[in-house]
Amino acid sequence: MKKVLVLFVFLLSQTIVFGQVKFLNRFEVRQESYDPIFEIMRTELGLVSFRTLQPKSLSGDRVFQYYISDENLQSPGLVELPIRSNYDMIGYDTEGDRLYVLLARGQTANAPKYILEVNLRENKGLEFQAENLLDLNLVEFLVQNKKAVFMGTADARPVLQIFDLEDKSIHTVQGVYGNNTQVLQVMKVPDLETLEVVVSRKGQFRNRETLILTYDMFGNLVREVKVDQFGSTDQEILDGLLLADKNYQQVMIGSFGQNARGAHQGMYIMEINEFGEYKFKLYTLEDFPNFYNYLKENQKEKKDKQVEKELEQNKIPTIRNTYAIRDVRETEDAFYVYFDQLNVTISRGGGRPTGYSPFNTYRYDRLSRMGYAPYYMDPLITSNVMQNQLYNFTEYKYVSAHFAKIAKQGQVIWDNSATYQDFTTGYPEPFGEIAILGEDLYHAYLEDDQIIASFFRNGEKVFERLSFGLELENENERIRYSDLETLRLVHWYDNYFLISGRQSIRFLNSENKEEVKDVFFMNKIVLDGDLYQPEEKVD
């Protein structure tokens, strides 16, 4: 183990305030222009940021670097651990004070792999060889109770294996592998030492059915909830987010509609009791009177009249675009739900294939991973598709963000929405972040190098799509450029957010001469709706 202190610059100066955004603490790691960015995860010790690094461009040597940060982004220093030559990180997870990193030599499914267990308290690493596993195109890697979970695809079918780090036993989970099957979510349940797996597959009559499968850590099926009765005969679940298990009492929230017609109709809340029995509450545009609040007043009135007309004809109003669940925050008596409305278009060309329908993509644990998804984010992972092969390129045009507070008894307390102004991206993962603080809801994301924020209080829209640029605390420094592909904004806690990425900074050295430094940075910011002062209208 090697501790490196000279690469760090911790900036703790006067708080900078720009309207409703306060830039608080900033932390930097000096690096070369093409060094990989750090992945970030929450741990019981604070945030851990880590990466694999190739110090010399023509060498196969690698090191593993990480550092721990507290709530003020203060860190004791950068730690380096040696790793095997030509191995790079392809997956990661945390448990307690341990960080688990999956490393592979090469990009193929059958590449040799091993797991590095990092004791974050003692700064020590322990290696576990990962052998005799199926050759998978890896999608997810998790660790629970010294057992590693590998989820991926083999022969275009999903496979889930559990590998015991101590006795090297391997258990292949039954009920997941199959044609026309997608794994939508894998969730650890530490209290019960089980895994929850949400699976979507085509049923006997080509309709899609959803299964919620519970396995112990030896791959044994503990419970199966088969959702085969949902709404009317032409309605089905289109996506869903399974919430944390509470003594086998579960809740899943998502969108529903007519998949054959590509028509989204609204939101469902599914409650599952300890016996595996389930019931639904369905919500349509009739229940969300402020769904079209993202439009201008005359456009909203037109849409509201269309909804009223369809309701008078006993029709369920249709949501024109994809209506996708993004996040759910649970309180003692309510759910705060966040959906995005977006238009998904697929064309031929270059891009990274995901292997899943854009309507049913695998749902990463974005909360623990601070918004990062390893399959897409690790710059060392390349597509397994040959360079000269054509495949689909998916484009996402974001229309609006939708928020609602739903009482656990079922009633809609409030709903509202904010516009994206048709923001278009090829990035497949959700990027909008919400913060709930009392009766305040913040929505924020990055558009290029601008922070875009909206704020709601008691369900009322206070401001929408306000834009704030990235700033530096040091008056003698200027942002030369920000690497837009690496910039990320994620919710941290309360109404605090974290921005990270790669930047080039101009600054004056001790001799008052200009220099340039390339850094990976982390910036803690806070959104404060109380600072908002609406512009006065001029007669």
Q: CA-to-CA distance for 82 and 80, rounded, in angstroms?
A: 7
| Predicted local distance difference test score (pLDDT) of residue 55 | 83
For residues 493 and 70, the answer to whether their CB atoms sit within 8 Å is: no
- What are the φ and ψ backbone dihedral angles of 312, each rounded to 5 degrees? -65, -30
| Predicted local distance difference test score (pLDDT) of residue 366 | 64
Structural domain includes residue 495: no
Put the strands of the sheet holding 391-407 in their side by side order: 322-330, 334-349, 391-407, 412-425
Percentage of the chain with pLDDT > 70?
86
Structural domain includes residue 526: no
Query: Would you place residue 523 in the very low, low, confident or very high pLDDT band (cuts 50, 70, 90)?
Result: very high
For residues 26 and 74, the answer to whether their CB atoms sit within 8 Å is: no
| Predicted local distance difference test score (pLDDT) of residue 359 | 40
Structural domain includes residue 215: yes
Residue-wise pLDDT tens digits, 49-77 = 999 998 876 677 899 999 999 999 999 99
- For the cut 80, the answer to whether the pLDDT of residue 530 exceeds it is yes
Phi-psi region of 349 (alpha: psi -120 to 50; beta: other; left: phi over 0): left
Residue 312: Cβ-neighbour burial (10 angstroms; 0-12, 13-18, 19+): exposed
Query: Would you place residue 381 in the very low, low, confident or very high pLDDT band (cuts 50, 70, 90)?
Result: very low
Phi-psi region of 286 (alpha: psi -120 to 50; beta: other; left: phi over 0): alpha
* Least-confidence region, from 80-89, 288-297, 472-481: 472-481
For residues 394 and 426, the answer to whether their CB atoms sit within 8 Å is: yes
Residue-wise pLDDT tens digits, 410-466 = 999 999 999 999 999 888 778 899 999 999 999 999 999 999 999 999 999 999 999
| Predicted local distance difference test score (pLDDT) of residue 2 | 53
Place of tokens 């945030």: 47
Contacts of 75 (CB under 8 A, 6+ apart): 8, 10, 27, 67, 68, 69
Residue 7's SS3 state is coil
Structural domain includes residue 502: no
Residue 2: CB atoms within 10 A of its CB come to 11
Structural domain includes residue 498: no
Structural domain includes residue 527: no
Closest residue by Cα to residue 385 from 355, 356, 415, 417: 355
Query: pTM of the entire structure?
Result: 0.89
- For the cut 90, the answer to whether the pLDDT of residue 8 exceeds it is no
Contacts of 73 (CB under 8 A, 6+ apart): 10, 25, 26, 27, 522, 524
Instruction: Write the DSSP symbol of residue 38.
Output: P
| Predicted local distance difference test score (pLDDT) of residue 19 | 67
* Segment 311-317 mean pLDDT: 95
Residue 425: CATH number of its domain? 2.130.10
Query: Would you place residue 539 in the very low, low, confident or very high pLDDT band (cuts 50, 70, 90)?
Result: very low
Residue-wise pLDDT tens digits, 11-48 = 443 344 456 899 999 999 999 878 999 999 999 999 99
Percentage of the chain with pLDDT > 90?
68
| Predicted local distance difference test score (pLDDT) of residue 345 | 84
* Segment 494-504 mean pLDDT: 96
- For the cut 60, the answer to whether the pLDDT of residue 389 exceeds it is no
Residue-wise pLDDT tens digits, 242-279 = 998 777 789 999 999 987 677 899 999 999 998 989 99
| Predicted local distance difference test score (pLDDT) of residue 58 | 66
| Predicted local distance difference test score (pLDDT) of residue 373 | 54
Looking at per-residue pLDDT, the higher value among 144 and 376 belongs to: 144
| Predicted local distance difference test score (pLDDT) of residue 60 | 72
| Predicted local distance difference test score (pLDDT) of residue 371 | 60
Residue-wise pLDDT tens digits, 215-243 = 999 999 999 999 988 888 888 898 999 99
Question: Considering its fold, how many domains does the chain have in total?
Answer: 1
Q: CA-to-CA distance for 47 and 27, rounded, in angstroms?
A: 12
For residues 51 and 65, the answer to whether their CB atoms sit within 8 Å is: yes
- For the cut 60, the answer to whether the pLDDT of residue 378 exceeds it is no
Residue-wise pLDDT tens digits, 142-197 = 999 999 999 999 988 999 999 999 999 999 999 899 888 889 999 999 999 999 99
* Least-confidence region, from 39-53, 371-385, 390-404: 371-385
Closest residue by Cα to residue 27 from 18, 40, 17, 36: 40
Q: CA-to-CA distance for 503 and 28, rounded, in angstroms?
A: 10
Residue-wise pLDDT tens digits, 429-441 = 788 999 999 999 9
Query: Would you place residue 120 in the very low, low, confident or very high pLDDT band (cuts 50, 70, 90)?
Result: very high
Residue 296 structural domain = 35-372+391-476
Amino acid identity at 402: H
Residue 532: CB atoms within 10 A of its CB come to 15
Q: Which two tokens stand for residue 213?
A: 């499968």
Structural domain includes residue 378: no
| Predicted local distance difference test score (pLDDT) of residue 344 | 86
Q: CA-to-CA distance for 174 and 159, rounded, in angstroms?
A: 9
Q: Which two tokens stand for residue 338?
A: 């966040």
Contacts of 399 (CB under 8 A, 6+ apart): 294, 321, 341, 342, 343, 419, 420, 422
Structural domain includes residue 5: no
- For the cut 60, the answer to whether the pLDDT of residue 479 exceeds it is yes
| Predicted local distance difference test score (pLDDT) of residue 358 | 38
Q: CA-to-CA distance for 310 and 289, rounded, in angstroms?
A: 14
Q: CA-to-CA distance for 365 and 539, rounded, in angstroms?
A: 50
- For the cut 70, the answer to whether the pLDDT of residue 392 exceeds it is no
Residue-wise pLDDT tens digits, 269-310 = 999 998 989 999 999 999 999 999 999 999 999 999 999 999
Instruction: Write the DSSP symbol of residue 60.
Output: -
Strand 62-69, strand 46-53: pairing: antiparallel
Amino acid identity at 537: K
* Segment 75-81 mean pLDDT: 95
- What are the φ and ψ backbone dihedral angles of 300, each rounded to 5 degrees? -65, -45
Contacts of 189 (CB under 8 A, 6+ apart): 195, 196, 214, 244, 245
Q: CA-to-CA distance for 489 and 87, rounded, in angstroms?
A: 29
Instruction: Say what the alpha-carbon torsion angle 174, 178, 180, 186 is, to the nearest 10 degrees.
Output: 30
Instruction: Write the DSSP symbol of residue 317.
Output: P
Strand 39-43, strand 46-53: pairing: antiparallel
